[in-house]
Homo-oligomer: A and B are copies of this chain.
Amino acid sequence: MPEVEPAAGVTSPVTVADHQYCPATALLSRIGDKWSPLLLSLLSRRSYGFNELDRSVEGLSRRMLVRTLRSLERDGLISRTVHPSVPPRTEYALTDLGRSLQEPLFALGRWAVTHEIELLAARARFEAAP
């Protein structure tokens, strides 16, 4: 989805640069990883502490939690606030930018839920082919 809509009308080949620097492709390559969508979903309602997130998601390793949070913070989608209390607490929350992303992301999620049965049916049909 590099050129969003006009891409379909291209006559010249899509270059590597086109593909790489397309905002849409770049976005999906960042938030399309294994844990970003889940963390964005959790943070969509309220803020979380680090260990709270760690305990909230089964199967998510500490390492990947940190990496994913850093990636989202780097893109300005979440904020990281260190409270110098005792014990120390680091709070993660969605930024305005991150909040604005929720709408198109939820739209995609709704599509997936709506068409889940069709997807499963298509896969079953494909598997049944000789």
Binding site for B on A (CB under 8 A): 1-5, 7-10, 13-16, 19, 23-29, 32-34, 37-38, 40-46, 55-59, 73-77, 97, 100-101, 103-113, 115-116, 118-119, 121-123, 125-126
* A123 B76 Cβ-Cβ under 8 A: yes
Nearest Cβ distance between residue A129 and chain B, in whole angstroms? 10
**Contact partners of A116 in chain B: CB under 8 A:** 23
Q: Could you list 30 examples of A-B contacts with CB < 8 Å?
A: A1-B105, A3-B41, A4-B41, A4-B112, A4-B113, A5-B44, A8-B45, A8-B46, A10-B56, A14-B56, A15-B59, A16-B58, A19-B58, A23-B113, A23-B119, A24-B37, A24-B112, A27-B108, A27-B111, A27-B112, A27-B119, A28-B37, A28-B108, A74-B122, A75-B122, A75-B123, A76-B123, A97-B115, A103-B107, A104-B104
